[in-house]
Amino acid sequence: MPNMKQIARMANVSLGTVSHVLNDSAGVREPLRKRVMEAVEALGYQPSQLARGLRRDKTDMIGMIIPDVTNPFFPAVVRGAEDVAFSSGYRLILCNTDNDHAKELAHLKALRTYLPAGLIVIPSDFSDLTVQAESYRKAGAAVVCVDRLPRNWTGDSVTAANEKGAHRATRLLIEMRHRQIATITGPLHLTNVEDRLNGFRRALRESKITITPDYVQETSFDKQGGYSKALVLLRMLPRPTAIFASNDLIALGVLLAIRELGLKCPEDVSVVGFDNLDFGEMTSPSLSSVHQPGYQLGTTAARMLLDRVSGDTGPAKHSVLQTELKIRESVAAFAEASTQDSKQTSSRADGNRKSIKATKRQQ
């Protein structure tokens, strides 16, 4: 690979001049500039990012730390960040934490030695990010937190309007005349989960609906968790007629549990999820959900980061992106008859279910 020295020799100028041409760092007169550019062209020269980074104490890399690319919500965020980064000449180093804060810490420590321009982080459970970010900032790297925040986070952040979205979803259920409304939340130590629960509670409170504490079930953010907690809820008396799930994977588990018990969605139980993942349109019934703008979360975070990199030293920014309720088949108005006696309903529904199965044979 050609280096600056060769360019300098070929263009018959000094090393410094080449650098100045390449970086616009000083006025270089046209004839020289032209000779340099020609040499660059002729040799196909590209500056070594390593040497440049070493000298400048900062590279064109951005560390992106997320729980797991394999979780369907995150790829959109990554893509959004990559698009903005790439179009400004930055690249993304992708790290998965599996929500393990020890693994996250390992990534945070290791990444530092690459002198990234900054970090975009979706923090793991019980993340240590607040401390680490401080040390990154001292080293001149920006850190933006996305989707959820670690405790005591005071830095830049981009999140969805979780409280509001959950409030809107819950209000839909209330407007549909549901009164026995339950929720299955993700891990409550996550700020976004907490916010969603708050939105849920506020909607209930505003409509003067009180529910038994049992109607709030906490679990992990996956299908299995949703499934098992839904079984618990659906066996309670009175049985909830609507369930708000704090994400779509949980909602999917809820749908499975409903079917498992011989109930029907939305006739017996309405369900609303959160995230609006692609598969929500493909389930049967299709899933109502609060859309979270994953791609925009990523682009916004990357832009915020790049602003910092290019010198914005203002106070911490908190961008909150709006959500949108997508109403699909999984929600119906509460019909008085259908849910009082759980056993009877259950067996009646079971009869229905068979006839549906004959045509649909779902799952």
Question: Interface with DNA by CB under 7 A: which residues?
Answer: 1, 3-5, 13-20, 22-23, 25-29, 31-33, 45, 47-48, 51-52, 54-57
Judged by CB under 8 A, the residue of 15, 54, 131, 316 near a second copy is 54
- 22's CB contacts (< 8 A; 6+ apart) are 4, 36, 40, 47
Pick between residue 87 and residue 212 the one whose CB is nearest to a second copy: 87
| Closest to a second copy by CB, 26 or 335 | 335
Question: With left for phi above 0 and alpha for psi between -120 and 50, is residue 149 left, alpha or beta?
Answer: beta
Q: Can you list the positions of beta strands (E) in 80-117? A: 91-96
208 binds, among DNA, a second copy, none (CB under 5 to 8 A by kind): none
d(C-alpha 276, C-alpha 138), whole Å: 38
Look at residue 59 and give the partner it binds from a second copy, DNA, none, a contact being a CB closer than 5 to 8 Å depending on partner kind.
a second copy
Residue 290 in contact with a second copy, rule: CB under 8 A: no
Identify what 283 binds: a second copy, DNA, none; CB under 5 to 8 Å per kind: a second copy
* DSSP line for 134-198: HHHHHTT-EEEEESS--TT--SEEEEE-HHHHHHHHHHHHHHTT--SEEEEES-TTSHHHHHHHH
Hey, which residues between 225 and 264 contact a second copy (CB under 8 A)?
A: 252, 264
Residue 179 as a binder of a second copy (CB under 8 A): the answer is no
325 binding a second copy? (CB under 8 A): no
* 222 touching a second copy, by CB under 8 A: no
Let me know: does 222 contact 249? Beta carbons within 8 Å: yes
Cα–Cα dist 221/275, whole Å: 12
- Contact of 268 with 258, CB cutoff 8 Å: yes
The number of C-alpha atoms within 13 Å of 145 and in the hemisphere containing its C-beta is: 24
Q: How far apart are CA 363 and CA 361, in angstroms?
A: 6
**Which pair of structure tokens corresponds to residue 22?**
């390449």
Residue 13 site contact among a second copy, DNA, none (CB < 5 to 8 Å, cut-off depends on kind): DNA
Which of 117, 131, 114 has its CA nearest to residue 89? 117
User: Does residue 146 interact with a second copy by CB under 8 A?
Assistant: no
How many other CB atoms sit within 10 Å of the CB of residue 277? Answer: 23
CA–CA distances in Å: residue 127 to residues 133, 146, 154, 159, 197: 11, 13, 14, 16, 21
Examine residue 337 and tell whether it contacts a second copy (CB under 8 A).
no
86 contributes a contact to a second copy by CB under 8 A: yes
Token pair of 335, please?
């019909």
Residue from 114, 151, 214, 235 in contact with a second copy (CB under 8 A): 114
Residue from 151, 189, 205, 360 binding a second copy (CB under 8 A): 360
Which lies closer to DNA via its Cβ, residue 3 or residue 284? 3
Query: Of 68, 100, 128, 218, which one interacts with a second copy (CB under 8 A)?
Result: 68
Using CB under 8 A as the binding rule, whether residue 2 contacts a second copy is answered as no
DSSP element (H, E) containing 64: strand 61-66
Is there a contact between 268 and 345 (Cβ–Cβ < 8 Å)? yes
Q: How far is the CB of 95 from a second copy (least distance, A)?
A: 7
CA distance 330 to 287: 5
CB 34 to DNA: min, Å = 10
One of 12, 25, 49, 322 touching a second copy (CB under 8 A) = 49
- Decide: 74 and 50 in contact? Cβ < 8 Å: no
Nearer to a second copy by Cβ, of 124 and 191: the residue is 124
Q: Minimum distance from CB of 162 to DNA (Å)?
A: 41
Using rule CB under 8 A, residue 134 touches a second copy:
no
| Closer by beta carbon to a second copy, 180 or else 283 | 283
Q: Does 212 bind a second copy (CB under 8 A)?
A: no
**Chain contacts with a second copy (rule: CB under 8 A):** 1, 46-51, 53-54, 59, 61, 64, 68-70, 72, 75-76, 78-79, 82-83, 86, 91-96, 109-115, 139, 252, 264, 278-279, 281-286, 329, 356, 359-363
